[in-house]
Structure 1
Amino acid sequence: MFVGCHVSIRNGYLGAAKTAFAIGANSFQYFPKNPRSMGVKAFDAKDAEACRRFAQERGLVSIGHTSYPTNLAVDEEDMRERTVKHLRNDLEIAEACGSLGVVVHFGHAKGGEPLEGYKRMIRLLDELLHDWRGEAKILLENNAGQGSRMGTTIEELVQVRSLLAAPDRVGFCLDTCHAFASGLWRGSNWKEVAAHMRSSGYFSSLAAVHLNDSVYPSGSFRDRHAPVGRGEIGLEAFSEFLQTPELAEVPIILETPAPAIGGHREEILLVRKLADRQEGVFDLEK
């Protein structure tokens, strides 16, 4: 199983890959550029290529994550054009680094008009991807339900993708905290949720998972990540989740608060134990 965490590019893209490898991860996520802005970055192509080679040689899988201000359902024309340029730049960086794609949160509509929001998302993604020929994909992430409640259901994600001119250039990233916060996953109903994902075709386009516990209960619509097993979801629910056959080769990325000592190394080991249901793995909850 490909298990890892989000890592910094403070020391470049190659540095990010080396950081992940050093803590025992075989997958990782990174911000292609400043996570607080939406500029276009003139990136170091040699550094990106070195990252690609290092990852290939050591069996690492990576994904990028776009910046926080990005909104696929933006309504202002100048902001839409800026978003397209920004995301194209992210895709170019991800492609150069050999990453599977770039995670982008499902859009949110201002004024609570989801139908118009869906239309704007489709228009923006079609413009972004119409001449994109790289292997890196846009990976739509489910939302926790804040604001307009857009992007919280499997139907929305699958339908928006199906309406794109080039749906093959878009995949999904499943965030477990978001799924829990939105009420999609209640912890005890994973078999039901997984069956729905199979029948809808969601799993066939799933490219990554953000594995995060939740500080708040299911249905709270509050996005606050907790370490695996330290939140409302719990170890038993995560163990069941991780044994899903469709997740066997999908990169599992931790976006949980990093411990002060040792980083995510121990949490990565815990996730692998949960997937194997190793003896003593549930002692954390006792």
Structure 2
Amino acid sequence: MLNIGCHLSASKGFANMGREAIKLGGNTFQFFTRNPRGSKAKDIDEKDVQEFLKLIQENNFATILAHAPYTLNACSADENTRNFTIEVMKDDLARMEYIPNNFYNFHPGSHVKQGVEMGIEYISGMLNSVLTENQTTTVLLETMAGKGTEVGRTFEELQEIIKRVKLSNKVGICLDTCHVYDAGYDIVSNLDNVLEQFDKVIGLNKLCAIHLNDSMNPFESHKDRHQKIGEGSIGLDAIINIINHPALRKLPFFLETPNELDGYAKEIRLLKENYLE
């Protein structure tokens, strides 16, 4: 079975997101833990949580993915921004325990001319500050396109972060197809080679989830502009190869394409039609 979903609004609660995912034809979804451009988080409704946990069990949901707000930057040059990131992530991870055994994804951050090495040191230090032995949530570093001073453009940078994390068993990778293609990994013509490289550098056992997006820009553009499935430079054939690849096909896939809900439903149908059971 293809584990597929899209990004949904958390404003109406977990149970509504679960029902919306089912309505769209999916069995998982991604959501922001709080305002993506701010810091406010909605209060946890424990009745809603219990309804949601029952719903996903009855409907064989795959692991769901929470996304940290874009305002976080673990390797900012500003100490207040770094401290804010630690504070928000600690709170988010505590809240995630209401829906245990799921994923929490974040953008590693931008080093803002401090250098990649300093960026890696700050990011790994932040993770060492927020991760706990008892948490059930796996925290995912997202692969980045490499625009500006982003950290996480290469597999080597991501592995260097993981290597410095004490509780590295609590950390994994979310591979974004648009990002890695824009970063210079040719998943269109050399998917096997890209995955072999990932396995050699990081290990495929660390690959937990896929952001499934086409790209508005050409290969190695470092732009990070998502496109609808089959309408960008990656193309439908390559996307179909990705969802059916033996190393990837059992992972949860999350659409972040520029769509309304009806567009997501159309893409989910298209992908399910092309998934080899």
Q: Return the TM-score normalized by structure 1.
A: 0.90
The answer on 1:24 being equivalent to 2:25 is: yes
Q: In structure 2, what is the equivalent of residue 63 of structure 1?
A: 65
Q: In structure 1, what is the equivalent of residue 163 of structure 2?
A: 162
Q: State the shift of 1:149 in Å.
A: 4.4
RMSD over aligned Cα atoms: 1.9
Partner of 1:264: helix, strand, or coil?
A: helix
Residues 27-84 of structure 1, C-alpha deviations (whole Å, 9 max, x = no match)? 1101122111124554223322322221122111311001111112123333322211
Q: In structure 2, what is the equivalent of residue 280 of structure 1?
A: none
Q: In structure 2, what is the equivalent of residue 281 of structure 1?
A: none
Q: In structure 1, what is the equivalent of residue 44 of structure 2?
A: 43
Q: Return the TM-score normalized by structure 2.
A: 0.93
Q: State the shift of 1:5 in Å.
A: 0.6
Q: In structure 1, what is the equivalent of residue 216 of structure 2?
A: 215
Q: In structure 1, what is the equivalent of residue 190 of structure 2?
A: 189
Residues 84-131 of structure 1, C-alpha deviations (whole Å, 9 max, x = no match)? 1211222233331245221101221012511111111111110011x3
User: Equivalents in 2 of 1:51, 1:57: separation in Å?
Assistant: 10
User: Is the CA contact 1:32–1:64 (under 8 Å) kept in the aligned structure 2?
Assistant: yes
User: Equivalents in 1 of 2:276, 2:234: separation in Å?
Assistant: 18
Moved more, 46-55 or 206-215: 46-55
Q: Return the letter of the residue paired with 1:5.
A: C
Q: In structure 1, what is the equivalent of residue 172 of structure 2?
A: 171
User: Is the CA contact 1:212–1:256 (under 8 Å) kept in the aligned structure 2?
Assistant: yes
The answer on 1:252 being equivalent to 2:250 is: no
Structure 2, unaligned stretches of length 5 or more?
none
Partner of 2:275: helix, strand, or coil?
A: helix
User: Is the CA contact 1:158–1:202 (under 8 Å) kept in the aligned structure 2?
Assistant: no
Q: In structure 2, what is the equivalent of residue 72 of structure 1?
A: 74
User: Equivalents in 2 of 1:114, 1:202: separation in Å?
Assistant: 22
Q: State the shift of 1:186 in Å.
A: 5.1
- Alpha carbons of structure 1 residues 78 and 201: separation in structure 2 relative to 1, 3 Å: closer
Q: In structure 1, what is the equivalent of residue 94 of structure 2?
A: 92
User: Equivalents in 2 of 1:121, 1:160: separation in Å?
Assistant: 7
Identity within the alignment, %: 31
Q: In structure 1, what is the equivalent of residue 266 of structure 2?
A: 266
The answer on 1:106 being equivalent to 2:97 is: no
User: Is the CA contact 1:238–1:274 (under 8 Å) kept in the aligned structure 2?
Assistant: no
User: Is the CA contact 1:40–1:86 (under 8 Å) kept in the aligned structure 2?
Assistant: no
Partner of 2:11: helix, strand, or coil?
A: coil
Q: State the shift of 1:259 in Å.
A: 4.3
User: Is the CA contact 2:106–2:140 (under 8 Å) kept in the aligned structure 1?
Assistant: yes
Partner of 1:97: helix, strand, or coil?
A: coil
User: Is the CA contact 1:100–1:136 (under 8 Å) kept in the aligned structure 2?
Assistant: yes
Partner of 1:253: helix, strand, or coil?
A: strand
Moved more, 205-214 or 79-88: 79-88
User: Equivalents in 1 of 2:68, 2:178: separation in Å?
Assistant: 18
User: Equivalents in 2 of 1:242, 1:101: separation in Å?
Assistant: 19
Residues 178-211 of structure 1, C-alpha deviations (whole Å, 9 max, x = no match)? 0111112352111110111222343101111000
Aligned length: 275
User: Is the CA contact 1:52–1:98 (under 8 Å) kept in the aligned structure 2?
Assistant: no
Partner of 1:208: helix, strand, or coil?
A: strand
User: Equivalents in 1 of 2:202, 2:147: separation in Å?
Assistant: 25
User: Equivalents in 2 of 1:50, 1:165: separation in Å?
Assistant: 35
The answer on 1:115 being equivalent to 2:149 is: no
User: Equivalents in 1 of 2:38, 2:204: separation in Å?
Assistant: 31
Q: Return the letter of the residue paired with 2:151.
A: M
User: Is the CA contact 2:8–2:30 (under 8 Å) kept in the aligned structure 1?
Assistant: yes
User: Is the CA contact 1:72–1:121 (under 8 Å) kept in the aligned structure 2?
Assistant: yes
User: Is the CA contact 1:215–1:231 (under 8 Å) kept in the aligned structure 2?
Assistant: yes
- Alpha carbons of structure 1 residues 201 and 223: separation in structure 2 relative to 1, 3 Å: closer
- Alpha carbons of structure 1 residues 259 and 12: separation in structure 2 relative to 1, 3 Å: closer
Q: State the shift of 1:132 in Å.
A: 5.0
